[in-house]
Structure 1
C-alpha cells in the first residue's frame, strides 16, 4: 500500500488507480491553503509502482527539486513533491517518521546590476509589465501591459510568460512555466534581470516595488532634456541679438533729442 502525505495528512493510493490533487471539486484529494490549481497533479499507481505528472502544462510540479515535464515520472519511496506553496511526500510502503511540514518561503530577488537595484520576491505573485498595477513596472513600448509573472511555488519561484511578448531565460524563449535557478538571466523587452537567492552585492538595495525606464527611454529623456536646454540657450541668444540693435536705436534717438533741445535754447536766447 502506498501513501501521499501533506502536513501530516495521509491519502491512500490504491493499486491501479489515479489520485488527482488540487483545490477544485473534480480533484480526488482537495488540498486547501497550498496555492494549488483546481487540478494540479496526478499520481497513478500500478503493480509496477507509482508515477506522477502535472495535470496540465500550466501546472508547475517538482520532485526532489527537479521540475517535471508533461509525461509520467516514476516515484520512489520518500520522494518530496513540490506544488504550489505546499510540499508532499510519497511513501511506497509505511509512512516514515519524516513529515512534510510547511516551510518558510524562499527569500529571493530579481537583480538589476545595470541600475544597482534588486526587487524582492516576497509576494506569492510578482507581476511584470507596462501596466501600473504590476509590481515591476517597465516604461518601455516593447513591454506588454502584463508581460510576465514570477510566482512563489514548488519550493522556489516559477516564471510564467504571457502570450503578449517574448520572455527569455538564459537566452532561450520560454512559453510554459519554468522554475528559476540561481543565476538565471531573464530578458523582458530591453530589461535583463538575474534571479538570485544569495546575499545581495554591496551597494545594492532591495525594493518592494519598482518602476524601470528602459535604456531607450532613458536615452530619449536625455535627448529631450538636451533639446530643452538648447532651446533655452537659443532663446536667450535671440533675445540678446534682438535687444542689441534696439539699444543702439534708443541711444541715437536720445542724442538727436538732446541736440534738438540745445538748438531750441540757442534760438530762444537770440544773438
Structure 2
C-alpha cells in the first residue's frame, strides 16, 4: 500500500488515511455555534441537501452535515457540526423555516409544508474519516484561503449579489478572533490558471456580534442599506445568511494576514502560475 502523503494538488490540507485499497481524506471540521445556525447553513438554500449525520462522541451528541466549497483543484469538504444540547434528542428530521419567523427543531414528521426538512442519519459508529476530522482543529498553512480585507460590510453583500446563482449564495461566516468579530465569505475565482477555483476569503472586522441570522440589503435613493434581521420578510430585499461559528479552522489565528494571501508561517501551494 502506498505511503500516506500530503495532497499537494489540493493545497496539502491534511494527511490522507488508507482504508483497504481506498484513501479517504477527512473533511475540514467547522464547529457551528448551535442548532439554528446549522439549520440555517444547510437548509436555507434553494435546493437544500438536507442530510445530517448524528452520533455520540465522548458522551456528547454530534449533529453535522457535509458542505462542499470550490477550492483550488477541486471541492473542499467541510464537516459543519454542532453539539446537541443535553436533554434534546434528535428525531427523524430537522425542521426549519425562515419566512416570517425563523425556527429549527427536531420532528418525527415531515408533512408541514411551511417547513423544509433535513433527514437525520442516526448511526452507532461514526466512520473513521469523520472521527479523524473531529480530532483536528487546524489545517496546514498552505490550505488557507487568500485573506482579503474589505472596507465595509456593503462590499461583502455586493460581492454575494454577483456570486448568487439561481438564488443560491455562499454563507457569511461569523466568529471571534482576538477580541474582534470576523464576518467573511469565501468567494471563488473560477478557472484561475490551472486552479479550479482560487479561494478568496473576503472579510470585515467589527466590534459587535451580528444581531440577526440574516443580513438584509437593498439600494435606496442612491445609497446602500444593510441591516441584520432575524428572518426573511419583504422579498424586495436581498438576504444573505449569517452562520455563527464556535471555531473556524480556515482562519490564520495569531498570524499575519495580508492582501496577497500569504500567511506568516508557511508558503502556499496547490495553484501554480
Larger % of strand: which?
Answer: 2
Greater C-alpha Rg: 1
> What TM-score, normalized to structure 1?
0.23
Larger % of helix: which?
Answer: 1
> What TM-score, normalized to structure 2?
0.23
